[in-house]
Amino acid sequence: MKSVNIQEKKGFTLIELLIVIAIIAILGSATVLVLNPVELMKQGRDGTRINDMDNLERAIHTYAVSAASVNLDFRTYCVGTSTTGVGCASSGATTATITPFTNLSTNTFGAATNVVASTAIDGNGWVDVKFTDASGGSPIPALPLDPVNNTNYFYAYKSSASNTFKLAARLESLKYRDKMVNDGGTKNTCSGSYVDATCFYENGSDMSL
């Protein structure tokens, strides 16, 4: 009579289970460090900010070229507050104050006092340019707002009487915030917190504003 060999099935030992759990824990920790979800969200918001600043700079240049082609007199269009003419203040000069929000009227890029900003493109938004006066219509449908839009993270705008302008935003991620130091603007003094009144990412036609 043939004997039947029954193979004994073996499970994991306690030591093997502990080793597997330890490996999974190490891999999980490494994944969190490499793919930090909070940092990735900050990078995503910074990407939006940089893109908004670039698009808005192009929109202002497009408006200025369009307005200039219709109004040959340099004084009949501006990149500042509009009360008469095409995009101009009544004096023919633009506003000289930085206006990140409608009620902020300081001469420095400081903390915002109101996080509610108008996205209007008719000269009444936080960028006081009458984009609607551009030939062919406004180059943008609405003004962008910062993804966070609070007292630390907001968009700002300043123009001069000579039709130059500067845009500013504050970056928050470890990957991008050094751009605020190296963008060639005047607001490039940043401490460890990177939310100083002198710490902004800037672009525009006049970085000295």
Answer yes or no: are the C-beta atoms of 106 and 97 closer than 8 Å.
yes
Note the pTM of the prediction, 2 decimals: 0.70
Q: In sequence order, which residues have a C-beta less than 8 Å from that of residue 59 and are 6 or more positions away?
A: 131, 138, 139, 140
pLDDT at 176 (0 to 100): 96
pLDDT at 190 exceeding the cut of 50: yes
Interval 156-174 mean pLDDT: 83
Local structure of 195: helix, strand or coil: coil
Can you give the residue ranges of every domain in the chain? 20-204
Pair 51, 131: CB distance under 8 Å:
no
Taking the C-alpha atoms of residue 21 and residue 56, their distance in angstroms, rounded to an integer, is 51
What does the pLDDT average to over 166-183? 93
What's the CA gap between 75 and 132, in Å, rounded?
A: 18
- pLDDT attached to residue 41: 95
- Of the chain, the percentage scoring pLDDT greater than 90 comes to 25
Are residues 202 and 185 in contact, defined by beta-carbon separation less than 8 angstroms?
yes
| pLDDT reading at 102 higher than 60 | no
User: In which band, very low, low, confident or very high, does the pLDDT at 156 lie, cut at 50, 70 and 90?
Assistant: confident
Give CA separation, 110 vs 78, 144, 198, in Å: 25, 19, 8
